[in-house]
Amino acid sequence: MNKLVIAALLAAPLAACGNPQGKIDPSEQMGPNPLIPEPAQGLIADVGVPDVVGWKDGETPKVPAGFHIEAMATGLTNPRTVLPLPNGDVLVVEGQRTGTEPVDRPKDPIRDFIMSMAHGGGGATDKGPPPQRITLLRDANGDGKPELRTVLVDRLNAPFGIAVVGNDLYIANTDAILRYPFTPGQVQIANRPQKVIDLPGGLIDHHWTKSLVASPDGSMLYAGVGSNSNVQERGPEAETNRAAIWEIDPKTGAYRVFATGLRNPNGLTFYPGTNVLWTVVNERDELGPNAVPDYMTSVRPGAFYGWPWSYYGQHVDPRPRPQRPDMVAKAIPPDYALSSHVAALGLAFYTGNSFPAGFRGGAFVGEHGSWNRSKFNGYHVVFIRFAAGRPVGMPMEFVGGFLDGKGHARGRPVGVAVDRTGALLVADDAGNTVWRVTYTGGGPARPAA
């Protein structure tokens, strides 16, 4: 870290010379037509990471007037994904990648250290390796206070994605999709899993989270496979079939690459009532605090979204070589920008009835929060209204208060989901909590225009 401190001191006068991106407000980089500035590569990457302090008794995130938030479960270990089931059970994926990436350059351990701070280190206790498991919360009466909490499946390998189809529970470990026989209502699974397919893991496994969703008819699985680097600095060989969404036939284990050029796609979700797959994507780092905006997009089969050679269509990234003008020409821009470095990891469409009508069909996005930006961005759950299946207007902060305004993070949102009562669930991996937001009425509670 000393090197970084020295670097910061040395770079301070240079930074004072003025950053061409400095005057951009994140709101200019939201929506369908974001402002995309020229790359600004300083001497050192613009870095800012809050200390994780956790939630004190009585502290909760903030929600708009008319809504109520409370913890559904605390004391979890790095909860990242929540999957509510129709019977009121909620499956919570607790896991994280263990081990460190191989060191190619002196920079690698420094960046890994910063990024590990950004992840809050939740669960990295002195009691040994963090749990890698699915916890089941049973809330039969739907009051948000679980009557039962059990470990459904344990000893996974950095799990993230989860899906239930009929009597099959699919779990996306970082290196494979597993299928467990699962009868809803069951509170523990003793059976060994069947492996559906290997996913790209390996020694580097830079973006390790494998998001998972089943098609509406349950016949296909879709897995997000993030890139193995920021912008192919581990070489093109490390990126085989990565930065992509895979389509997998769970019966045969056959797969095809469904869409590519998606640097780190998470929150895979079908738009309700359609066969249109949506995802939120973490775009590239180290091109400045306001480049490149993360985004939410519908995913067109066979489409290429630019990574690593370009972003937002034909904005060429000068870094990866050899350049590929043929691929840049193919790149399509995403649907909706979320602003830079927010680290969107969760996406859920509002399918419930208990929130006001304006929320129906809109998107909740869990933004884990920035590290490649000295001024924090993200660190909240936003709501984006939809009309006719397309996002409209600007994002509105829906769950905030994860930062305390003094450079500390109480928690950080990841996965979001809507439970059978229409409440919004938020997995908070740094706060080790699952939050539940309900509508109590009375307030104005209208989504952003």
Partner 1 sequence: MAEIVDERRGKRVGIAGHPYSALFLPVPIVCFTGALITDLAYVNSGGNLLWLNFSCWLLLAGLLFAVIAGILMLVDLARLPQLRTNIGWGSFGLLAGAGVIEFINSLIHARDGWTAVVPAGLILSAIGAIVVMSHGWLWHESRYGPGVRA
**In terms of DSSP bridges, do strands 277-281 and 265-270 run parallel, antiparallel, or are they unpaired?**
antiparallel
Considering only CA atoms, which of 154, 245, 236 is closest in space to residue 199? 245
Instruction: Find where tokens 């006068």 sit.
Output: 13
Choose between 8 and 165: whose C-beta lies nearer to partner 1.
8
Closest approach, Cβ 356 to partner 1, in A, equals: 45
Closest approach, Cβ 318 to partner 1, in A, equals: 5
Angle at 307 between CA 302 and CA 312, to 5 degrees: 90
Dump the DSSP string for 174-201: SSEEEEEE--BTB----SPPEEEEE-S-
Choose between 8 and 396: whose C-beta lies nearer to partner 1.
8
Contact between 124 and 191 under an 8 Å Cβ cutoff? The reply is no
Choose between 84 and 306: whose C-beta lies nearer to partner 1.
306
Q: Check residue 131 and report its DSSP letter.
A: P
Q: How far apart are CA 414 and CA 197, in angstroms?
A: 25
Closest approach, Cβ 7 to partner 1, in A, equals: 6
Choose between 10 and 387: whose C-beta lies nearer to partner 1.
10
Choose between 236 and 407: whose C-beta lies nearer to partner 1.
236
φ, ψ at 357 (rounded to 5°):
-60, -30
Closest approach, Cβ 107 to partner 1, in A, equals: 4
In 3-state terms the chain splits into helix, strand, coil percentages (rounded to 5) of: 10, 35, 55
Considering only CA atoms, which of 268, 412, 437, 402 is closest in space to residue 348? 268
Closest approach, Cβ 422 to partner 1, in A, equals: 44
> Length of the chain in residues, anyone?
449
Choose between 226 and 346: whose C-beta lies nearer to partner 1.
226
Closest approach, Cβ 44 to partner 1, in A, equals: 6
Please give the residue ranges that form the binding site for partner 1 (CB under 8 A): 7, 10-11, 41, 43-44, 104-107, 229-235, 286, 318-322
**What Rg do the C-alpha atoms of the chain give, in angstroms?**
21
Closest approach, Cβ 106 to partner 1, in A, equals: 5
Closest approach, Cβ 324 to partner 1, in A, equals: 12
Closest approach, Cβ 210 to partner 1, in A, equals: 23
Choose between 175 and 233: whose C-beta lies nearer to partner 1.
233
Choose between 204 and 221: whose C-beta lies nearer to partner 1.
204
Which tokens is 16 given?
A: 């004072």
Cis status of the peptide bond prior to 316, with omega within 30 of 0: no
φ, ψ at 181 (rounded to 5°):
-70, 130
Q: How far apart are CA 449 and CA 394, in angstroms?
A: 7
Cis status of the peptide bond prior to 39, with omega within 30 of 0: no
Cis status of the peptide bond prior to 109, with omega within 30 of 0: no
Choose between 226 and 431: whose C-beta lies nearer to partner 1.
226
φ, ψ at 311 (rounded to 5°):
-140, 155
